[in-house]
Chains A and B, each alone.
Chain A
Amino acid sequence: MRDAFEALAAQDPARPYQHGDPAALVARITADRRRARLPGWFRLAVAAAASVSGLVTVGLVAALSVAPTLPLLAFAPTPAPAPAFAATKSAQSPATAGVAAPARPVAGRFGPGDSLASAYRLMVPASGLNATMGLGAALGVVGTIGGYNGTVFNETGASGSRITYDTTTGIGEWRYSAGSSTGLSPLRFAAAIAKQRWGYAVELGRRTGSSPVIVDGSVTTLRVTFTVHDGRVVAASGPAFIVTAMVNYRLRSPNDALAATYSEHPTVATSVALSWSLYTTADYFEWLLPTFVFHGHSGTRPWTGQSLAVLSASLTGTAG
């Protein structure tokens, strides 16, 4: 019989790979990284103001922590009036599951998208070491910090509690695990998290759960997760970032967003709320962009949907 690892190696799907045009790749990267082409389904492209003529930039409203030597985002100055929500089908004729014909939303009037909402540009904290120390101090993990490549930091306290802080993605990510006989009281955990530069609203009294990250008073779709065992928070994780810029965007109509995103699905939206979700733009920056979160039903099942709220004229490329 063939050895297990020989068999595994034999199943390696790799084959000789050479990038289609490595010279052009290097030229593109070194000339202007913002022009790097990405598959549409990987990235949502947002135009930099300088690259789109005829568009009016909206001023940088606030630089919250870092000097704003940043590209501004752009939007069209005169968006067409968005139509009001078209409720044309009755709730008595729900779409049948499996029917291919598009089903219209049948409930709710969400109004035109003529308002503004802020988008927030995020960056990883400048010092991973300091961020790890800050998290460690807040969560009661004080010990030697080990680092790797300047992007991943670990701090292990005497009790075995541990903080891992990772900045290798566009924003930082942290994880906390308690030692064998330790853990934080939920109250202390909530207080520690509240002290961070980024905001968290932690619901107490739950065994496991997640709570939204709040930025500038706005509830985002980013979450901090936590596990409570024997009345102590024994594990938690969440994002870490600095808000470096805030730009106002004109919003599209919730109805337009709903129709564009869910037109082929038998969904019925009954309410909509504005939230903020993480996107990576074509220039590799992370943004919290306003999004519509819809609630309703699909047939007899509860349904939740989400769609970018920024007016499409503000964007280059699409999510699809």
Chain B
Amino acid sequence: MRATRTTELERVVRDYQSAVGNYLRRRLYPLTDGDLDDLVAETFTVVWRRFEAMPRDAELPWIIGVARNVLHNAQRSRRRRSAYEGAVTPRADASSTEDVVVADARVRHGLESLHGDDRDVLLLHVWDGLSVADVARVLGVTPDAAAVRLSRARHRFRAFYEEWDES
């Protein structure tokens, strides 16, 4: 039984490590390869702990959801450590990764116009390639709610993208 479960974990790691690694890389920057490996390992460790809960017909969005929580925990711990190490008060949320990695000012302007949740939806769809149904699974909302958020995010992103004045 355990061997079967281990074999199944090997498959899951093989099939989804790239998606998980890139999901994390897109949102936490800069990351060394070692740190990225550690976060991927942490994600799959949680996956292993909750293996029975993983829906076989929606593995990727479920695993991305786990990675999303690992990421949030890591960001919280990072902020907490910063506070420990001498910040006078804990910092507010650091600027989003996209603000750092996106070189196209017009795209950055569009992303900056989005509320965090809407930005999540848009990037899960465009960068991570998830369908609306899968985005809904990651966020734990209904497909209708995800569709509404995505539509709103697309509309707002396009509007701000197109209004950008290069000058």
A19 to B24, CA, bound (A): 12
Residues of B within 8 A of A149 (CB): 53, 55, 62, 65, 137, 140
Q: Would you call the interface of chain B mostly helix, strand, loop, or mixed?
A: helix
Interface size on B, residues (CB 8 A): 69
Q: Which parts of A140-156 form the interface with B (CB within 8 Å)?
A: 146, 148-152, 154
Q: Which parts of B34-70 form the interface with A (CB within 8 Å)?
A: 34-42, 44-46, 48-49, 53, 55, 62, 65-66, 69
A209 to B44, CA, bound (A): 37
A81: Cβ under 8 A from any B Cβ:
no
Q: Are B38 and A38 in contact (CB under 8 A)?
A: yes
Given contacts A11-B102, A149-B62, contact A29 B21 (CB under 8 A): no
Residues of A within 8 A of B42 (CB): 36, 38, 42
A16 to B55, CA, bound (A): 26
A28 to B161, CA, bound (A): 46
Residue of B nearest to A307 (CB): B84
Q: Are A11 and B77 in contact (CB under 8 A)?
A: no
With beta carbons under 8 angstroms apart, the residue of A20, A25, A39, A280 that contacts B13 is A25
Given contacts A12-B127, A169-B72, contact A30 B110 (CB under 8 A): no
Given contacts A14-B22, A18-B18, A151-B140, contact A30 B104 (CB under 8 A): no
A233 to B46, CA, bound (A): 35
B17: Cβ under 8 A from any A Cβ:
yes
B residues near A, CB below 8 A?
Answer: 2, 5-6, 9-10, 13-14, 17-18, 21-22, 25-26, 29, 33-42, 44-46, 48-49, 53, 55, 62, 65-66, 69, 72-74, 77-78, 80-81, 83-86, 88-89, 97-98, 101-104, 106-107, 110-111, 122, 126-127, 137, 140, 142, 154, 157-158, 161-162
Interface CB pairs A-B, < 8 A, 30: A4-B107, A4-B157, A5-B158, A7-B161, A8-B111, A8-B126, A12-B127, A17-B17, A17-B22, A17-B25, A18-B21, A20-B34, A22-B14, A25-B37, A26-B44, A29-B41, A30-B2, A33-B49, A36-B45, A38-B42, A39-B35, A42-B73, A42-B78, A146-B142, A151-B65, A169-B73, A262-B86, A284-B45, A319-B81, A319-B84
